[in-house]
Structure 1
Amino acid sequence: MKKNIISTEKAPAAIGIYSQAVAVTGGATIYLSGQIPLVPETMEVIEGGIEEQIHQVFKNLTAMCEASKGTVSDIVKLNIFLTDLSNFAVLNEIMATYFTEPYPARAAIGVSALPKGVGVEMDGVMVINSDSYSF
């Protein structure tokens, strides 16, 4: 198995023991590392409330998908972590502006805390047409 590391300055830099995204042998499956609402240019948490945080996370995921030669429509599995599950309805409203059917598989998990005290984090798996994918 060969791993190809994908990185872009249009999403927050990896600040731990992980890559922004990893494409595995042939490039068909790409694993997107967890994204929190950091603004890539400043590496600071976006100002505002949970709505701004959710939008920033989707912007970061979109940048990762584009750097991986895909779009958010190519995400087949999305994991969402919320520190307050009462924000689930607003999450759904915002998610509907980024995805169209067929929607990815999804898990939404309530957690007690996230890095930098944010209210949301998401990671995902995307699949790209392997016939046209190369580095």
Structure 2
Amino acid sequence: MRYLMFVPLLVLTVVAGARGAEVSFLNSSGSLAAELPFSEAVRVGDTLYLAGQLGALPGEMAVVEGGIVPETRQTLDNIRSTLKSHGLAMSDVVKCTVMLADISEWGAFNEVYAEFFSKPFPARSAFGANGLALNARVEVECIAAFSD
């Protein structure tokens, strides 16, 4: 019961801390095609929120061919490029959300994912989704933290 009382206090503390933080909308890595109606990343204080990335070649509106493995590799390459353009690395990622067109491809996704991240791994959620953009097999969004 004590923990349940702590959660609202923690949420209020996080929200209050973010209220005065500077917000920057960023588009600089070139990984997204031009003219999409969202920002590549948004920085709030020392936190960078990345838009979901697909396995599309930079600037193109089609995913790479070959299925889940090449799409996952391209998706994570796109994330790495976005992070790098904002002064961060894969090791700065603290949370990923993974959307798979077919949750049965989770194992194949994990094999490629492990090539890009090492211990300690970021927190992660994964779920099956119907109808990802560009008929993609995978979409990944991440949150990264700037350190002092």
Letter in 2 for 1:116: L
Instruction: Tell me the alpha carbon deviations over residues 31-76 of structure 1, each in whole angstroms, 9 at most, x when there is no partner.
Output: 0000011101434311221111000100010011101201011110
Q: Which residue in the other structure is 1:12 paired with?
A: 32
Distance in 1 (CA, whole Å) between partners of 2:96 and 2:134 is 21
| TM-score, with length taken from structure 2 | 0.80
How high is the sequence identity, in percent, across the aligned residues?
Answer: 32
Is residue 85 of structure 1 aligned with residue 132 of structure 2? no
More strand by share: 1
More helix by share: 2
| Counterparts of residues 42-53 of structure 1 (less than 5 Å) | 42-53=60-71
Q: Is the 8 A contact 2:26 2:39 kept in 1?
A: yes
Q: Which residue in the other structure is 2:76 paired with?
A: 58
| TM-score, with length taken from structure 1 | 0.87
CA pair 111-15 structure 1, distance change in 2 beyond 3 A = farther
Q: Which residue in the other structure is 1:2 paired with?
A: 22
**How many residues of Structure 1 are paired with residues of Structure 2 in the alignment?**
128
The higher-RCO structure (CA 8 Å, 6+ apart) is 1
Letter in 2 for 1:64: T
Q: Which runs of 5+ in 1 are unaligned?
A: none
Q: Which residue in the other structure is 1:124 paired with?
A: 142
Q: Which runs of 5+ in 2 are unaligned?
A: 1-20
The runs of at least 4 aligned residues of structure 1 exceeding 3 Å deviation read 13-16
